[in-house]
Chain A
């Protein structure tokens, strides 16, 4: 009963802070503006070529015709770049032909699944991470006044309170992630329909330098698992930062500096990129980890799903041990 009561209090504290709702609204506005841009951008080159080969009458036949047309150009072409590009196009068209899937622009998708993939790109994911760190700190730093933890006045076991706080933060992050994915899905559904969950996406699973097309739907379970692990890690990490800093501004500055400092460093600086698989923050974008797109862009094949599970799991355990030790040491001091 006391657990439910404390959880309800946290929930009300979150809901009643208008700033939190404002931040969620900002994400939704960004998604709407992305969708508007995609709709306005019109057809891409591939779609124009397919239209030329009768896409609207029979899209499968148009794939077949375009593949043959590309093959002819490749035979005549002396440019390796053109050959590579057309070969890549043919691989996609073959996949679409065999799986009977309608073509969709990967750079400006408007269907539900296509747009969901875009909504999980690094910028939106990074922005969501920024927002969730702010929300969690805002929620729990209220417990600290003049560096005193006033939540300890509640007649509640410390471990239980820490556990509730971490799970609540985790669920909050999950809720935010679900909100913007469901919203992306609905936006796509309204504009162009759901699209195909089996639409191919570029992945570097077999070769970090050369991408190949993989069924998007088959990667979703792994994406959800690694994203959930990352959410739990962030919930633990931010809670630990709050406990250490005991002050809202200090906690916010520290959490953002550490998390985004490491993310940006791993993207920009080669020495950090080489050890990115040891940095739990590198796994912030589950999609790019599972497809190894991030590993490809920083030339680190070890930045993969398996290492993500391992490193995030170890990091979560380490933080939980620190929290437990901290509580035990505080209890010992009190007894003295």
Chain B
């Protein structure tokens, strides 16, 4: 099992972003994307999921097109994407059913200590609460490939440690692709480091 990206190139009008990125993400392990702001990390994630247009020779999971393998991947880019009128519980129920997951909602809520606010509307959440909900969605989905964009933003130090410990545990049997501003914190847990330099994705030895 693998998520394969073949010759992925991303460009916007008058702006080249990524050139000819080819890579195979295996079924387990933690892949860390390291790059400066605006270098194209989010664009790569969006292209893999088909959210933005890109040129490529195939983005597949187990040799099947991504569109047919949606249930194997979970990506929710930012807590800004939430409909603030909804509650955290509404999203957790949606994701659990859509991804046909066996993970218990209450267990995840308890793990992230969300009991006091999970049934309230998201408009009342602080940034940290929203970020914990975002992480909870990843855990509830139980997808084989978890693609996370700056997911530890807005979390306090203890929560970041807790998250990394959890991701390390999950990476034993899932593929986790993550980008983070807290590079030094994630670095010890990463199995592979991918760096973007001059529109090229470079596989750093780690």
Contacts and interface: CB of A to CB of B under 8 A. Distances in A.
Interface of A: 1-2, 5-6, 9, 12-13, 16-18, 142, 145, 148-150, 152-156, 331, 333-335
Contacts of A149: 51
B52 A148 contact: yes
Contact of B86 (A16, A333, A334): A16
Contacts of B97: 1-2, 5
B98 A16 contact: no
A156 B77 CA distance: 19
Interface in B56-87: 65-67, 70-71, 75-77, 80-81, 83, 85-87
Most chain B beta carbons < 10 A, residue from A1, A9, A13: A9
B71 A155 contact: yes
Interface string B38-68: 0000000010011111000000000001110
A335 B94 contact: no
A145 B81 contact: yes
Given A13-B83, A17-B85, A153-B76, A334 B93 contact: no
A12 B50 CA distance: 27
Contact of A150 (B81, B86, B99): B81
A6 B94 contact: yes
Most chain B beta carbons < 10 A, residue from A6, A13, A155, A333: A155
Interface residues of B, number: 28
A13 B98 contact: no
Nearest to B58: A335
B65 A334 contact: yes
Nearest to B82: A142
A189 to B, nearest CB: 34
Q: Identify the 6 closest CB pairs spanning chains A and B, nearest first.
A: A155-B70, A5-B97, A155-B71, A16-B85, A148-B51, A9-B94
B151 to A, nearest CB: 15
B22 interface: no
B27 interface: no
Given A18-B85, A145-B81, A150-B77, 10 more contacts: A2-B97, A5-B93, A9-B90, A12-B90, A16-B85, A16-B90, A142-B83, A149-B51, A154-B98, A334-B67
B26 interface: no
B66 A334 contact: yes
18 contacts: A2-B98, A5-B97, A5-B98, A6-B98, A9-B90, A9-B94, A16-B85, A18-B85, A148-B46, A148-B51, A150-B77, A150-B81, A152-B51, A153-B51, A155-B70, A155-B98, A334-B50, A334-B65
Interface of B: 46, 49-53, 65-67, 70-71, 75-77, 80-81, 83, 85-87, 90, 93-94, 97-100, 121
A241 B93 CA distance: 29
Nearest to A12: B90
A142 B82 CA distance: 9
B80 to A, nearest CB: 8
B186 to A, nearest CB: 24
A155 B83 contact: no
Contact of A153 (B49, B80, B83, B90): B49
B81 A154 contact: no
Given A16-B86, A16-B121, A156 B98 contact: yes
A154 B70 contact: yes
A150 B76 CA distance: 8
Nearest to A9: B94
A6 B60 CA distance: 26
Most chain B beta carbons < 10 A, residue from A6, A17, A153: A153
A13 B51 CA distance: 23
B94 A155 contact: no
Contacts of A5: 93-94, 97-98
Most chain A beta carbons < 10 A, residue from B80, B94, B99: B94
Nearest to A152: B50
A153 B67 contact: no
Contacts of B75: 153
A285 B85 CA distance: 33
Contacts of B52: 148
A145 B51 CA distance: 10
Contacts of B90: 9, 12, 16
A145 B42 CA distance: 14
Contacts of B87: 16
